[in-house]
Amino acid sequence: MPELAFFRHGEELLRVALGDRTAIGRAPDCDVSLPDPALSRVHAVVERRGDAFHLVDRSGRGTRVGGADVPEARLDDGAEIGLGTWRALFRAAVADGGDETRLSGGTEVRAAPGASAPIPAARLRVRAGGRERTVPVTSAGVIVGKEPTCDAPVDDPFVSARHLRIAPQAGRWHLVDLGSTNGTFISGARVAQAELPFGVTVTLGDAELVLEPRDAPEPPRAEAFEGMISRDPGMRQVFELVERVGASDAAVTILGETGTGKELVARALHARSTRRDAPFIPVNCSAIAETLIESELFGHEKGAFSGAERLRKGAFEEADRGTIFLDEIGELPLDLQPKLLRVLELGEVKRVGASRPLQVSVRIVAATHRDLRAQVRAGKFREDLFYRLCVVPITVPPLRRRRGDVRALAEAFLARAAPRGVAVRFTDEALAKLEGYDWPGNVRQLRNVVQRALLFRGEGQHVPASAITFEDTRAAPGDTGDDDTLYVRGLTLEEIEREAIRLSLRRNRGKRAAVVKELQIAKSTVMKRIGQWGLHEEGRAPGDAAELEDDPADA
Ligand SMILES: Nc1ncnc2c1ncn2[C@@H]1O[C@H](COP(=O)(O)OP(=O)(O)OP(=O)(O)O)[C@@H](O)[C@H]1O
C-alpha cells in the first residue's frame, strides 16, 4: 500500500498509509497534523487519482515537491515533500510486511514477505495513571479507550470512550484514531491513522501505549515507593524501614550525601504516618541566617525584636499535628540546640519574646549529609540531642553504589521533562555514558544532567551521548541544593514567577536592586512578591542581613 514516511531532522518518525484523500497540516482535524507553526492549517492534500497519487497545495504559497514550490504535482516513487521542519517521502509500493522496519524509538522487525505474511504476535503496553500493564493483541486487533468494555481500557480524563483501534493491515500493525476528542500522537504529530511498528510510543491524553512482540522479555521494573524510583536492594531496605517506622512517632534522622533523596524519604515517612493529613513543613537549617533561625523555627511575638512588626508563627507551630523536616540539622547553632531538645522532650515551643511556652504535637524528622557523631566529638552538636534525634537512623546510599538505578531514574526524568506527546529516548551510547559516571551530586545531579541533555539534543527524538555533559552540581555549603535553572514544565504562571524571583534572589545574594535589574520588573512588584511569598531571607547568608537592610532598592 502506498505510504508517506515523515522525517524530522533526518529521523524517520511516522508512516501513514495513503487512502483516497490525506490532508496534512497544522489543524488537529487533518489526517496528519504536524506541530509546526510554519505550516498552514491545511497545508496540502494527497489525493488518489486512478492508480496515481497527486499532491495539491492548500497553503496558497505552494508546497515543496522535489525542491520546487508547486501548486500541484503528481507524486512519483521516492518524491520528497517539504513541510516546514518536516519532510515526507512518498513510497508508491510498500512490500506487505516484507521489508525491514525501523522507526525512531522502534525495534527492528522482520516479517515474511507477501500479502499473506502472518502478522507478528503482539502485546500492548499501557502506561496510565502511574501504572503499567500489558494487554495481548490478537489478529482481530484491539480497541483502546476510556470505556471499560474496550479491549484495553485506559483511565485518563483526556482519552475518549473509544479512542483508537490497533489492527493488522497488509501484514503490518496500524492504528486508526476513532474520532477521539483529544487526538492520538506519534512523535508529536497528531495522526488519524498510521503504521505502528514495535517499540514506538503512542500518546493519548496523559497515557502511553507501546506495541511489543508478544514474546519479548519483560523490561526490568523500576520499583516506585512514594515517588521514589529504585530497584536497588539498599534502597528497598530504606523503603521497608520507612514502612515500619512510618506509623510510629519515633524521631528519625536520615543520613546520606547531598542529592540522594533524603527529603523524599522524609516525605515518605510523613505520607506513611497517621499524620499524613496534617502539614509537612520542611526547614533547611543551613539556608537561614543564624540570627533568624530561632524565629523561623519557634516564631516570635509582635515587637520581640526590631523588625518584628507582627506576631509570627514558627515552623513548629505550623507543623502542629504533622511532621517537621529539619534538613541539614548539623548546621543548627549550638545555642538553639537545647530549645530543640525541649520540643523533643516536652512538646513545648516558646516564641521569641513570649513569656510562656505552647504545646505542639510534631513529629521530627531530621537529615544531614554530615557525620553527626564527628560533630558531637568536635563539640558542635549536643550528645543528648544526637541520641534524641537519631532514635532511628536511615542511611540513603549514594547513587554510585546503586548504579542499577541510574537508567530507570534517567528515563523517568526524561519522560517528565520531555514536551507533552513527544517520546524522547536515550541512545545506547548516552545510557552507557550515564551509567559509567560517578554522580558526586547524586540523583539531583542526574536530574539536572538529564534536563540539560534534553535541551542540548536539538529537536531530535533521541538524546545522543554528546548532549550529556557533566558538571559537578553538588550543592555548595549553605546551598539548599536547587540548581540555577528554571524548569517550567507543569508549573503555573504564578509558580514560574515565584521561582524566577527566588532564583534571582539567590543568584544576587538577596539584593533586591539586582533582581529588579536582572528580571526587568518594577521594584514595587519585586517587593510585593517577596512579601507575598515570604522570600525575605532568600539568598541571604549569615552576615548579609544588616547590609541588606540598607539595600537601595528597598528604600
Ligand atoms: N529515588 C528517587 N526517585 C525519584 N526522584 C528522586 C529520587 N531520589 C531523589 N530524587 C530527586 O532528586 C532531587 C534531590 O532529592 P532530595 O532533595 O530529596 O535530596 P536530599 O538528599 O534531600 O538533598 P540535600 O542533602 O541537598 O538536601 C529531587 O528532585 C528529588 O525529587
pLDDT means over runs of 10, the chain (555 residues) = 85 88 93 89 96 96 93 95 92 63 43 54 85 88 95 92 94 93 89 90 88 76 79 88 88 93 94 92 85 88 81 92 94 91 91 92 94 90 92 93 92 80 83 92 92 78 87 43 53 74 81 86 84 72 42 36
Pocket of ligand 1, candidates 260, 264, 442: which has the most ligand atoms within 8 Å of its Cβ, to mutate?
Answer: 264
Closest ligand 1 atom, residue 265 Cα: 18
The CB density around residue 88, as the number of other CB atoms within 10 Å, is: 27
Residue nearest to atom 25 of ligand 1 (CA): 258
Closest ligand 1 atom, residue 260 Cα: 21
Are 508 and 526 spatial neighbours (Cβ–Cβ below 8 Å)?
no
Q: Which of these, 298, 318, 317, lies nearest to 308 by C-alpha position?
A: 298
Closest ligand 1 atom, residue 405 Cα: 1
Distance 410 CA to ligand 1 centre (A): 13
The pLDDT value recorded for residue 439 is 92
Distance 268 CA to ligand 1 centre (A): 12
Pocket of ligand 1, candidates 235, 263, 369: which has the most ligand atoms within 8 Å of its Cβ, to mutate?
Answer: 263
The pLDDT value recorded for residue 161 is 96
User: ipTM exceeding 0.95?
Assistant: yes
Distance 414 CA to ligand 1 centre (A): 16
Distance in angstroms (rounded) separating the CA atoms of residues 91 and 73: 15
Distance 440 CA to ligand 1 centre (A): 13
Distance 439 CA to ligand 1 centre (A): 13
The β-bridge partners of 89 are 5, 80
Pocket of ligand 1, candidates 226, 443, 489: which has the most ligand atoms within 8 Å of its Cβ, to mutate?
Answer: 443
Closest ligand 1 atom, residue 446 Cα: 12
Distance 447 CA to ligand 1 centre (A): 9
Distance 262 CA to ligand 1 centre (A): 6
Which residue is associated with the grid cell 512518498? 90
Pocket lining for ligand 1, CB < 6 angstroms: 228-230, 256, 258-264, 327, 369, 409, 443-444, 447, 475, 481
Q: Which of these, 192, 137, 146, 191, lies nearest to 167 by C-alpha position?
A: 137
Distance in angstroms (rounded) separating the CA atoms of residues 275 and 273: 5
Are 457 and 467 spatial neighbours (Cβ–Cβ below 8 Å)?
yes
Give the Å distances, CA to CA, from 549 to 40, 362, 450, 537: 56, 34, 39, 11
The pLDDT value recorded for residue 385 is 93
**Cα atoms in the Cβ-side hemisphere of radius 13 Å centred on 449:** 32
Side chain identity at residue 148, one-letter code: P
Closest ligand 1 atom, residue 229 Cα: 3
Closest ligand 1 atom, residue 284 Cα: 27
Residue nearest to atom 1 of ligand 1 (CA): 228
Residue nearest to atom 2 of ligand 1 (CA): 228
Give the Å distances, CA to CA, from 141 to 120, 161, 174, 176, 300: 12, 17, 9, 11, 67
The pLDDT value recorded for residue 459 is 66
∠ CA 147-148-152 to the nearest 5 degrees?
Answer: 90
Distance 182 CA to ligand 1 centre (A): 34
State the angle between helix axes of 428-435 and 442-456 in degrees (0 to 180), rounded to the nearest 10.
150
The grid coordinates of residue 315 equal 515552623
Distance 392 CA to ligand 1 centre (A): 20
Q: What is the 3-state secondary structure (H, E, C) of 301-315?
A: CCCCCCCCCCCEECH
Distance in angstroms (rounded) separating the CA atoms of residues 454 and 417: 8
Is the pTM for the entire model greater than 0.80? no
Distance 265 CA to ligand 1 centre (A): 9
